Amino acid sequence: MRTRHIAGSPAPLGTFLECGGANFSLYSRSATGASLLFYDHPDDIQPSRVLTLDPAIQRTYHYWHLFVPGIEPGQLYAWSLSGPWDPLRGKRFDDSKPLLDPYGKAVVVPKNYDRTSASVYGIAASTPPMKSVLVDPTAYDWGDDKPPRRPSSRTIIYETHVRGFTRHPSSGLDENRRGTYAGLIEKIPYLRDLGITAVELMPVSAFDPHDAPAGRTNYWGYAPISFFSPHPFYSSDQSPLGPVDEFRDMVKALHRAGIEVILDVVYNHTAEGGGNGPTFSFRGIEDATYYLRDHERGQYANYSGTGNTLNANHPVVRRLILDSLRYWVNEMHVDGFRFDLASILSRDESGQVLPNPPVVWDIETEPSLAGVKLIAEAWDAAGLYQVGSFVGDAWKEWNGRFRDDVRDFFRGAEDSVSRVADRLIGSPEIYLHQGREAEQSVNFVTCHDGFTMNDLVTYESKRNEANGEENRDGANDNRSWNCGIEGLTEDPEIETLRERQIKNFFATTLLSLGVPMILMGDEMRRSQGGNNNAYCQDHEASWLDWSLLPEHAGLHRFVTQLAERRQRRDLGPEGQCLSELIREAEIIWHGIRCGQPDWSEQSHSLALTVEIRRHRMRFHYMMNAWREPLLFELPCVAGAEWRRWIDTALASPEDIVSWEEAPIFHQHEYRVEAHSVVAVVARMEDA
């Protein structure tokens, strides 16, 4: 029995509490020696205890393991590995470096942490390292928490940033709760009132905030150092175990409000960067396993644009990804994942694209992930674009073509009418060949990466000088339109047009088939001053300024009313919501004349009738992206009257009204103002 306690077990990887102690297990194929380091405090430089493993009894195949009696949750630890130094062959061992456990469930960062301490050139003896924390995943009372499991047809996603959502002084929260998981809990009533059913959180796995140009901070979080640990700086409780429990408090509170939690996960690269980057964990444990390499040049392959790319289809890395996803679902109760640069998951060890990538099918067929929302950002930084062709049956996709085509249409680009028509009905041109439902398409006009919606109608050129890269970073193809004046203006006509364009974008997103996604703060015209790549801007320019809410109360009301009508299930005896009914309806296309759609390159107008015969209802949408008003002919509705539901050219509160209060429109034509969207509805019960 004593020998078993000393030797421990190779499974499971990471840590496991049992028998009055904990088992530790680590994969490293090429290491020649391993030590486990224990620390008493986050700011400790030197370990208080070092246990050197005996490979004769504490190594099984490629797994180093030992059982340590008497330690408890909250214990700080790290690994140290010795072995060859041969970077060109993926061997970067340095026993002076404390290494984070790849399976660690929490991370602590010392107050005086210096990223240079993790340099490939050695560790400063006076600098404390980051440490992993021993966690008991079962030590939390979930009560009666259950996943909402909301159907995709009844889902409205709000992409948000945990810190940016409540960090601004205008949030009204106490200083210690601003920018935290606890702070987000306090804003749940706002999310419910807005009509949100799922929050898509930008990366919350522990990341390196120092992975940014000098003098700046990695704000977005796409620089992971751990795939299991909640980011410690998003917790108001800075004890070693505080972030784990506070994250779960947030999930439980969101579930109680009927809101799902989708995590933006980064399984395509890490914060260790290129060959001269820091070593936190993976590089010092088994570099050749974890990263793709360009063997001809002896460098890391870089399909992520960050200096390294995870070797996602290697069996060990596949296991890491699957174990991580299972952990977030089973122990942290999250409801879905958005996979950053998901096309990298399709690459093999040489970087070639696989027709059936193993890791994608592993995720697809994992029983514990059944029913979990899986969303792919179906492209990578090396030009691979898989929107409409990402492998797998359960996967949904960020529809980048919806974003581009809707932007094109409303800025008056030529040859955009037929494209926007396809986007309105779930992009069958893209997805129908796979026999997928419309909800495979996640529809958005803006996301964290690019202009906010306010900036989309304010700037035609990006303003990224603050990032320190002389405005070279960020996308140049923004498909934006400043409505006549570049930048801020007090011209009331320009401001009215900009507000109208924003309402056009929201109406199109929330009335189209597919899963709509809204970017944090767009509903109150949050601006980043034209910065379309604010990844390193952790200050008030990126945070949500809550004082914008009363200033733009009309727009906020417009979005809330749209979301509420999309969700309501009072349209028929089956209790279907609007998007479900539209998916089953007959669609008739028009131009400004009924039955005569204009698909020409010069066309800037479109209309469609949605006829739901079994519920005796009709909807008629008219879209005018032309610079002048247009008269649209209305279809005849025998036995009913058209009621004006939406007109984005009208001021609040006339721009959108409840169906019960919608005014009857008796004329046979409707004047649709320039750059506006109109929706009318007819119900046979009005007869």
**Alpha-carbon distance 377 to 444, whole Å?**
12
Catalytic residue chosen out of the listed positions 94, 286, 362, 377: 377
User: What distance in Å separates the CA atoms of residue 572 and residue 579, rounded to the nearest whole number?
Assistant: 13
CB atoms within 10 A of CB 371: 12
SS (H, E, C) 352-401: CECCCCHHHHHHHHCHHHCCCEEEECCECCCCCECCCCCCCCCCEEECHH
Do 670 and 629 contact (CB within 8 A), yes or no? no
Catalytic residue among 211, 245, 287, 340: 340
- Which of 630, 622, 632 lies closest to 681 in space, CA to CA? 622
Burial class (CB in 10 A: 0-12, 13-18, 19+), 350: exposed
* 66 three-state secondary structure: strand
Alpha-helical runs (H) found in 552-622? 553-567, 578-584
What gap in Å lies between CA 507 and CA 287, rounded to an integer? 48
Cα 65–chain centre separation: 35
Q: How far from the centroid of its chain's Cα atoms is residue 359's Cα?
A: 20
Look at residues 651, 412, 648, 625 and name the one whose alpha carbon lies nearest to residue 507: 648
Q: Six-digit token pair at 521?
A: 């703060």
Both tokens assigned to 216: 């700046």
Residue 340 among the catalytic residues? yes
d(CA 498, CA 482): 8
Q: Quick one: how far is CA 361 from the chain centroid? A: 21
Q: Is 460 within 8 Å of 476 (Cβ atoms)?
A: no
The Cα 201–Cα 541 span in angstroms is: 19
CA distances from 132 to 18, 22, 80, 503 (A): 19, 14, 12, 47
For the question of residue 377 being annotated catalytic, the response is yes
Active-site residues, by number, are 340, 377
